[in-house]
Structure 1
Amino acid sequence: MRRARRTASHDDGPHPLADEAEGYLLARLHHDDARREAEDLCARLPWLTTAQAEELARHYVRHRIGLTRRMLLSTLERADQLRQEYESRYSALRRALLRRHAAGACAVLAGAAAVSTLVRLLDR
C-alpha cells in the first residue's frame, strides 16, 4: 500500500474533504485487497461450486474488513494514548524549563544587585 505525500500549503488547517477522500480511497484499497485474497483462496479450492465460492469470498471479505477496522481502531486508540503521554511529558518539561530559567534570571538579578551594591559601597 502506497500513500501519496501531501504537499505543504499556505493553510495548514484541516482539510475535511481531502481527509474524507483519502479515507474512502484507503477503505476501497483494503476492500479490493480483501477481494483479491478471497478470489485467490477460492481458486485454490477447485472443488467449490460457484455459489459456495461466492459465499466463501463474501464471508472472507467481511471478516477481513472487520479485522482491518479493529486494527485501525486500536491503532487510533494507541496513537491517542501516545499523544496524551507526549503532551503531558512536554508540559512537564516545559514547566521545569520555565522554573529553571526563572531561577537563573533571579540569580543573575541578585548577582547584579549584589555587585551594584558592592560597587556603591566601595565608591564611598
Structure 2
Amino acid sequence: MTAMDERPVDAGVLINELEGHLLIEATLGEGRAEAGRFSRQFGWLTDSQRVEVEERFAEVYVALAGVSWQRTVQRGAELRGEYEEAYRVLRRRVLSVWLFGMALISGAGVLIVSLARQ
C-alpha cells in the first residue's frame, strides 16, 4: 500500500505480474540464444550486422511467443465456456433424473399405502 493509494495490495495480482515479467524475460533469453545460433550460420556477416540480425530475430521471437500466448488464452477461454456449458447440461440432467426418481418413489409409496388400506 502506498501513501497515495489506500487500497490494499492484492498479492495474487502482484504474483501474476511477476510471473509475466519472468516469462517475458525467459522468452527474451531464449530468443537471444536462438538468434545467436541462427546468425552463426552466416559467417560473412560483420559484427554490427550480426548484432542487428540477432536483435531483430529476438524481437520477432518474442512477438511470435506473445501471439502464441494470446491464442492459448483465447482457446482456454473457449474451452472453459464449453466445459461450463457441458457441466450445466449434466447438472440439469442429474437434477431431472433425481426429481423423477423421487416422484417415482413417492408414487410407489402412495400406491403401497393405498393397497395396504384395502
Correspondence 1:45 to 2:42: yes
CA distance in 1, matches of 2:92, 2:83: 14
TM-score by length of 1: 0.82
Partner of residue 110, structure 2: 113
* Aligned CA-pair RMSD: 1.2
Which amino acid in the other structure matches residue 13 of structure 2? P
The percentage of aligned residue pairs carrying the same residue is 28
Once the two structures are TM-superposed, the CA of residue 67 in structure 1 deviates from its matched residue by: 0.7
TM-score by length of 2: 0.86
Runs of 4+ in structure 1 over 2 Å off: none
The answer for unaligned runs of 5 or more in structure 1 is 1-13
Partner of residue 99, structure 2: 102
Once the two structures are TM-superposed, the CA of residue 98 in structure 1 deviates from its matched residue by: 0.3
CA distance in 1, matches of 2:59, 2:28: 9
The answer for unaligned runs of 5 or more in structure 2 is 1-10
CA distance in 2, matches of 1:68, 1:51: 26
Q: Aligned pairs, how many?
A: 108
